């Protein structure tokens, strides 16, 4: 699933020169029902709060979400801020019953996946 979600996010974010944070809203079969641009930031950061991520997910009646954002620099290594927001989003998702299935960082042709790196099931820390 990370590859398909990453390709979906890359299609939306390709060529963007600022960070964009997306929430992919999924149904109970983990099919995308809607996509929301939660935040548009600067070259090196994007402000994201769980409230904005899960508002759209609740309104879309999502069973789960995948979060994705781009790093315009092309460096796919998670930042300190990425570590923090993943932890907050995973915790909020658990409380709301809308799990965060993955946290992706994308460039135009590559991606980094928290689930592929084994961090989604371990307390969501990078």
53-89 pLDDT, tens digit per residue, is: 999 999 999 999 999 999 998 899 999 999 899 999 9
Phi, psi of 31 (to 5 degrees): -95, 140
Phi-psi region of 41 (alpha: psi -120 to 50; beta: other; left: phi over 0): beta
How many other C-beta atoms lie within 10 A of the C-beta of residue 57? 26
Q: Which domain holds residue 51?
A: 2-113
Tokens coding 15: 């060529």
| Predicted TM-score of the model (pTM) | 0.91
Indicate whether 80 belongs to any domain: yes
* Position 81 in a domain: yes
Q: What are φ and ψ of residue 33, in 5° steps? A: -105, -25
pLDDT of 9-54, one tens digit each?
999 999 899 999 999 999 999 999 999 999 998 887 788 999 999 9
Contacts of 55 (CB under 8 A, 6+ apart): none
Question: How many domains does the structure of the chain reveal?
Answer: 1
């Amino acid at each position: 699933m990370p590859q398909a979600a990453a390709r979906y996010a890359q299609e939306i974010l390709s060529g963007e020169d600022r960070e964009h944070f997306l929430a992919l809203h999924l149904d109970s079969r983990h099919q995308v029902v809607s996509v929301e641009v939660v935040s548009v930031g600067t070259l090196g950061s994007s402000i994201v709060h769980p409230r904005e991520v899960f508002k759209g997910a609740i309104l879309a009646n999502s069973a789960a979400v995948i979060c994705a954002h781009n790093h315009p620099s092309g460096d796919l290594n998670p930042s300190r801020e990425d570590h923090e927001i993943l932890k907050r989003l995973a915790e909020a998702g658990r409380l709301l019953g809308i799990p965060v299935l993955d946290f992706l960082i994308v460039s135009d042709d590559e991606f980094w996946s928290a689930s592929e790196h084994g961090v989604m099931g371990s307390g969501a820390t990078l």
